[in-house]
Amino acid sequence: MTDDDLEQRLRFHYRRIDPGLPSPALGTRVIDALDGRRSAPTLRVWPIPGLAAMMAAAVVVLLGLAFGLRPGGFLAGLRTSSTAPASLTPGSAFPSAGISTSPAPTPLPPGPDVQAAGLVDPLHGWAVVEHRLQITADGGSTWRDATPPGAFATASADLLLGVDFVDAQHGWVAINAGIASASDASFGRVDLWRTTDGGSTWTQGLLPLAAMNHNGDTLPQVQLDFLDASHGFAFLSGNLAQGANDSDLFWTADGGRTWSADRPTGSGHVGIEGDIGFATGNDGVIVNAPHGEGIVVTHDAGRTWADASLALPPGLAGADRFFGKPAFFNERSGLVAVDFQGQTGSVTRVYRTADAGSSWTLAATLPVRGNSTLAFFDQNRWIGLNGSELLRTNDSGRTWVRTAAVALPGGQPSLLLADEQHAWALVAMDVCLTFKSNCSSRTGLYATVDGGSTWTQLSPR
């Protein structure tokens, strides 16, 4: 077969599958989606919790964020729950589900759209609302604007790429400053502002240029993962550069004053994308990676990466897997929650490592199905949310207590833990009042001071 023959076959192939014009409904869908964005401007920022060193065990698990929720799936009434642990259906890899009905779609509750948030301790936390960084020192009752000077100065022009605080004083904000043209100095540049006084004053710094100098229009979010006030990583997952693809890792040992040269995780064709989690300055993983079982590990501070092993139970080898952020409790031991999306629903399992992320074995299975959020106080005490239901275990998932999370709206939550009583939940809510149209979305911030039994909405602005 000559090149011409092959090219002709390809042209014929595409002519055969040419769909022609889309249905008019697609235009309506896009208009509705854009209108939803316009009414509630949203920066696509992953919630990155600020973690105090003493609370390094606390971890936020974001599961199923890639999935849209169905009409009516939100704002479902609070469910009554049994305190008895649920059991797995014999012969099934997925837990059984109770009979449920979806109420008619309801408009989203009022409140600010929170793009990102982090809880440092029971009193101190931060949130990003309408391009402004807000900080609280009283558990969310009052807030002050701690936006770095110069950054977000023109809210419509700057891109917030990431935020992290390791304690009430030390924090970092990654921003791509607004540009007037592709020749601007800030085109594709990441400014990393740092504070050592809780956001009262900020110092501007820069990330070095990526190995492949990227284009601003595809600049990814910056995942900031600080181990303490001095040591941390900045990770740009899926940094597209002139048609090639890379993911770039930078390391600082002086609180962000200086950064290492780029340690790209890819060769320029396909970088190792995903979400980072480091146990030490050398040992860490990228989860949700398009490699192996979805998790890769480094033991040399990101210079080289290898596929980690993940023990898959029968029947789940082919299921979609979505990892939460891994939690490390010391230099070797850690946990990660994995949501398996199968033909009959999804189930969340917890995996444990004892070798700094090289191998992961099954530790427990959540007794509920559907997208769940899980966070770890330590190796044995975990707390989770499944819709408006609270799950808690004190024995590494052998037994669970299930109660209602009162006043927490349904949706896709992520948990931010301060201690066993104080937590925040970012709840991503999205509803289409009619099928795939008249849609709106918003992320609300909720707080609990009683271990998750009751929740109140916060208004960080």
Partner 1 sequence: MVDEAAASATTDDAMQRLLLTRIDDAYRLATFILRDPLAAEDAVQEAALVAWDRRHSLRDRRAADGWFTRILVNVCRDEMRRRARRARGIDLQSFLGRGSIPSAGDLEGDADLGPAMARLTPDEQSLLALRFGNELTVPEIAARLRIPEGTVKSRLHHALQHLRAAIDAERRASEHMR
Considering beta carbons, is residue 135 or 312 the nearer one to partner 1? 312
Say if CB 227 and CB 219 are below 8 A apart. Answer: no
Kindly determine how many residues on this chain lie close enough to bind partner 1 according to the rule CB under 8 A. Answer: 63
Report the DSSP beta bridge partners of residue 375: 383
Q: How far apart are CA 414 and CA 126, in angstroms?
A: 15
Q: Check residue 104 for interaction with partner 1 (CB under 8 A).
A: no
Residue 256: how many other CB atoms lie within 10 Å = 28
Q: Check residue 44 for interaction with partner 1 (CB under 8 A).
A: yes
Q: Check residue 72 for interaction with partner 1 (CB under 8 A).
A: no
Handedness of CA 152, 274, 344, 364 (dihedral sign): negative
Nearest-approach distance from CB 147 to partner 1, in angstroms: 17
Q: Per-residue contact track with partner 1, 140 to 169, x per CB under 8 A?
A: ----------------xxxx----------
Nearest-approach distance from CB 458 to partner 1, in angstroms: 24
- Of 137-145, 301-309, 312-320, 363-371, the segment contacting partner 1 by CB under 8 A is 312-320
Q: 182-221: which residues touch partner 1 (CB under 8 A)?
A: 182, 215-219
Q: Figure out which of the listed residues 16, 54, 99, 104 binds partner 1, where binding follows CB under 8 A.
A: 16
Nearest-approach distance from CB 136 to partner 1, in angstroms: 26
Considering beta carbons, is residue 270 or 407 the nearer one to partner 1? 270
Nearest-approach distance from CB 339 to partner 1, in angstroms: 13
> Judging by DSSP bridges, how do beta strands 284-287 and 171-176 pair with one another?
unpaired
Considering beta carbons, is residue 214 or 402 the nearer one to partner 1? 214
Say if CB 282 and CB 301 are below 8 A apart. Answer: yes
Nearest-approach distance from CB 15 to partner 1, in angstroms: 8
- From the list 226, 252, 122, 114, the residue with the least C-alpha distance to 165 is 226
Q: Check residue 91 for interaction with partner 1 (CB under 8 A).
A: no
Considering beta carbons, is residue 321 or 402 the nearer one to partner 1? 321
Q: Check residue 290 for interaction with partner 1 (CB under 8 A).
A: yes
Q: Check residue 34 for interaction with partner 1 (CB under 8 A).
A: yes
Q: Decide: helix, strand or coil at residue 240.
A: strand
Q: Check residue 123 for interaction with partner 1 (CB under 8 A).
A: no
Q: How many helices (H) and strands (E) does the chain have?
A: 2, 29
Residue 304: how many other CB atoms lie within 10 Å = 12
Residue 105: how many other CB atoms lie within 10 Å = 19
Q: Check residue 21 for interaction with partner 1 (CB under 8 A).
A: yes
- Of 17-25, 89-97, 119-127, 278-286, the segment contacting partner 1 by CB under 8 A is 17-25
Q: How far apart are CA 440 and CA 442, in angstroms?
A: 7
Considering beta carbons, is residue 103 or 313 the nearer one to partner 1? 313
Q: How far apart are CA 461 and CA 458, in angstroms?
A: 9
Considering beta carbons, is residue 336 or 418 the nearer one to partner 1? 336
**40, two tokens:** 């509630």
Say if CB 429 and CB 443 are below 8 A apart. Answer: yes
Considering beta carbons, is residue 53 or 66 the nearer one to partner 1? 66
- From the list 227, 251, 249, the residue with the least C-alpha distance to 239 is 249
Nearest-approach distance from CB 108 to partner 1, in angstroms: 17
Considering beta carbons, is residue 55 or 207 the nearer one to partner 1? 207
In a 10 Å sphere around its CB, with 0-12 CB exposed, 13-18 middle and 19+ buried, how is residue 39 labelled? exposed
Q: Check residue 311 for interaction with partner 1 (CB under 8 A).
A: no
- From the list 383, 409, 418, the residue with the least C-alpha distance to 138 is 418
The one-letter code for the residue type at 334 is G
Q: How far apart are CA 267 and CA 239, in angstroms?
A: 12
Q: Which residue has the tokens 């440092």?
A: 120
Q: Check residue 87 for interaction with partner 1 (CB under 8 A).
A: no
H/E run at residue 32:
helix 24-39
Q: 245-274: which residues touch partner 1 (CB under 8 A)?
A: 245, 269-270
Positions touching partner 1 (CB under 8 A) are 1, 3, 6-7, 9-14, 16-23, 26-27, 29-31, 33-34, 37-38, 42-44, 66, 156-159, 176, 178-182, 215-219, 238, 240, 242-245, 269-270, 290, 294, 312, 317-321, 341
